[in-house]
Structure 1
Amino acid sequence: MTINAPRGTVDILPKDAKKWQFVENTIKNVCNRFNYEEIRTPVFEHTELFQRGVGDSTDIVQKEMYTFEDRGGRSLTLRPEGTAPVTRAYVQNKLHGSPVQPAKLYYFGQMFRYERPQAGRMRQLNQFGAEVLGSANPAVDAEVIGLAMMCYQELGLRDLKLVINSLGDNESRKNYRNALIEHFTPHKNELCSDCQTRLTQNPLRILDCKTDRNHPAIQTAPSMLDYLNRESKLYFDQVKEYLTMMDIPFTVDKNLVRGLDYYNHTAFEIMSEAEGFGAITTLCGGGRYNGLVEELGGPNTPGIGFGLGLERLLLALEAEKIELPVTEELDCYFIAVGEEAEKQAVRLTYELRKQGIQIDKDYQDRKMKGQFKAADRLHAKFVLILGDEELNNQVINVKSMQTGEQKEIPIPEMVHYMNEMLQGGKA
């Protein structure tokens, strides 16, 4: 019986892995320029972390988490998002006590959500995220947004749209919550069952509903911006001013609330406007989450961050027809003919690898013609040929696959010669 990968998961094969590596390395380079450091958290956490951190009323907690009991009867959950685990690690390891503040962190990780699989949205998804903990400065909000934008731009994406909103502080959010309850209550029976529950639990989530998105009541809902108090308005104005100074265009969307309970003040999404990208255009989402550290047992610590899906990033690159500069070339391929030559090939191949040269050899006992074909398939730049005659003369025949030129090189000079050729020397 053939066993396939579970629904909603995919294998990243070697032909695609180099693209992933290029994307990840590009993002790591951007993070380094912004002085963000990598953090790695467990793939599974105590379920309570997401119930308290993400919020009981969210779709993630109610419908999408992979939760199980371990042999000790503890409820554990495969992480569905990255902010709560990073915040938990920040509290548990007392990073708030470090003299270097704020803590500027980034992560790459696999997330798990039980939802209907579609292009770029898998049940096991790969996510990059960044979090800044320890600063309530609006300039940090602009920096985090700028980091996300630069990651996309460094990879060549141009058809991007940044959408921002403010959810205000606790006072503003409370006033807005009451206004939404008053607005939606007359329409309660017209809303989907989820939104009827959200009306009392978290009415802001109604604005984010995929089922009722076109309902007239949502279109005419009051704007969060009208309920911001003076401090929240000033904060949002400063964020917008910084983005303008950084030459990052943005659009304000009063209905942008994001799907997690911990957000307050700045919320944002980055979308692809590339033709043919699809109906779901969001590439990245994030925002400020002051209060989450306290909720998880830490001191009063402001935070802001985002998460972006790598699968959707790669789809956006395809939509904009961007070819990543990944190569399929191999530096050298070693062809050995004869039993003694094969023994020497094993030794010399390992020696060349120790010196930093990328090289492979035949392991299927193919004839010389078959080995040359293998070198072609691997796009080898040079072929090193060793047979009985070369062994007697203590040389290796080096052939350039680009020019066809061949040259005999003494074995003791092999490493130096190949390094010179691979760095642009002439045979």
Structure 2
Amino acid sequence: MISRIDLRGRRPSRRELLAELPRAELDVEHAAATVAPILEDVRARGAAALRELAERFDGVRPAHVRVPAAAVTAAVGVLDPQVRQALEETIVRVRRVHAAQRPQDFTVDVAPGAQVRQRWLPVRRVGLYVPGGLAVYPSSVVMNVVAAQEAGVGSLAVVSPPQKDNDGLPDPVVLATCALLGVDEVYAAGGAQAVAMLAYGAAGSEDVDGETLCEPVDVITGPGNVYVAAAKRLVRGVVGIDAEAGPTEIAILADGTADPVHVAADLISQAEHDPLAAAVLVTPSVELAGAVEAKLVDLAEVTPNRDRVAVALRGSQSAIVLVDDLESGLDVVNAYGAEHLEIQTVDAAAWADRVTSAGAIFVGPWSPVSLGDYMAGSNHVLPTGGCAHFASGLGVHSFLRAVQVVEYDADALAVVADRVVALADAEGLPAHGEAVRARF
């Protein structure tokens, strides 16, 4: 069901590891060619294009692209009480963690009369993408909205694909989650067309009563499929984006003490997201590898999304990687840079502290990735495809800008005036120096 990669007896270089380790193929460049005309259509025709594209891609033509506020509010009334309780607890925990992420302004007195202050300012308006294809994600509403709210963003718009079985509105649990978070600007739009609407704005057509204008946003965040990733790539620069999120990934670094049932269950928990989802076990234990393989067969046969899981586990993006020892395993997971990394070893916390590349790290047998997907308090919008080498998961920082404020008095400027002039002349920019001389 899942392939093996045997690295025992050798210590591959970083370059060799990057070539050998499994990774989902995500052809964003090819998808961009398909997406580009969709972006232009929405830019030109606004809500009319959005309704036509929804009918084409989602199989339903929404009566209103903007969800009526009454429909958002009403969704809470039909929400399953247990789901509501779970969502409310998730919101509390995620808000607690994200409130602690807010960076502090600071002031530095560089010299007498010379001061530089740094202020953190939220962006004006954000667009938050919530998927709704193979599965629906009210938890992604929480992750996106809470981070933006804790950053102090004043205007939030949530987009999620229209659902045929909900009269062209987004999933009712998604709508209810928006209501629980106090968000009433919600749009029945998904895919590349939703990204275009957020980036460029869209006017409502005259023949639909109550249709309103969607104003352009400053930042778009949230996971989606390859077409959403391609659309985000094309509008980057018009707006900011969090990342070009690809298929989900889980890597597990485990030794012989790990429970094979836990390991197999955790691999399957991410494989059920998408046929391209990546599930990777890195271990020095041949016994654990064999036991996990057997459990994967057993558990995959009975899981409700068995077809999707089977495709993901058999895919070239998933594997069991055998290594000589945990030191070698650490090299592998650091080179891989997984979206989600579990450590199931003796002294798991110590190994976790040595990880340098992962979107989020889950330490020990009682911290499964699914906890982070919902209720750990961390954010589940994380870098994929190796982007964890240089990118962070979604958080308050995703919606903030650092602005430096410079204030010198005359005496402070006089102290460095000649040096500013010297540097300006050295760079062949004499007018820079003259701007200082003019003050004296």
- Per the normalisation by structure 1, the TM-score is 0.26
Q: Give the strand-richer structure, 1 or 2.
A: 1
RCO (CA 8 Å, sep 6+): is it higher in 1 or 2?
2
Larger Rg belongs to: 1
- Per the normalisation by structure 2, the TM-score is 0.25
